[in-house]
Amino acid sequence: MRAATLRRLLNLWPPYLFSGIRVLSISDDYTEAKVALRLRPWNRNYVKSQFGGSLFAMVDPFWMLLAMHRLGGDYYVWDKAGAIDFVAPGYEDVYAHFKLEASVVDELRTAAAGGKKVLRWFETKVTTASGKVIAVVRKQLYVRLKPKAR
């Protein structure tokens, strides 16, 4: 699937559409993605800051999606675990930037070459436009070469 098509589909996906999450860009080669979470009355928490569930949702699928497209169809790629550290309250729109380096893709391919499962953590900072860190999200991916490709 073309990255531009995936971006459009994600922006129309009801959990993103109705929570104020906006996929700003996905690079054509799936090396980078940028996402925004607009602060709206329906995604504020009790103290009027960004709702933690929305903060986690905005970063949830992107490491998996980037890795799936970069590794190709010969690999299983799944989210295995996730954790979020709330650093400061977000009283404005927030942003996340994902960049999957070629060296990491090579590392995953090498580690999975024999058919063993590979578990790797990725970290994303959720920031305001000025760069203030609101949350740090860690996602663990499961990667394994499919039997037919071993």
Which pLDDT does position 111 carry in this prediction? 96
Give the three-state DSSP class for 16: helix
pLDDT over 90 at 150, yes or no: no
| Residue whose entry in the numeric block shows the structure tokens 């400061």 | 88
Task: With CA atoms as reference, report the closest residue to 137 among 123, 116, 117.
Answer: 123
CATH number at 142 reads: 3.10.129.10
* DSSP strand pairing (32-37 vs 94-99): antiparallel
Q: How many domains does the chain have?
A: 1
User: What domain range is 88 assigned to?
Assistant: 3-149
pLDDT in tens, 43-80: 999 999 999 999 999 999 999 999 999 999 999 999 99
Rounded percentage of the chain residues whose pLDDT exceeds 70: 100
For residue 23, with 0-12 CB atoms within 10 Å meaning exposed, 13-18 middle and 19 or more buried, which class applies? buried
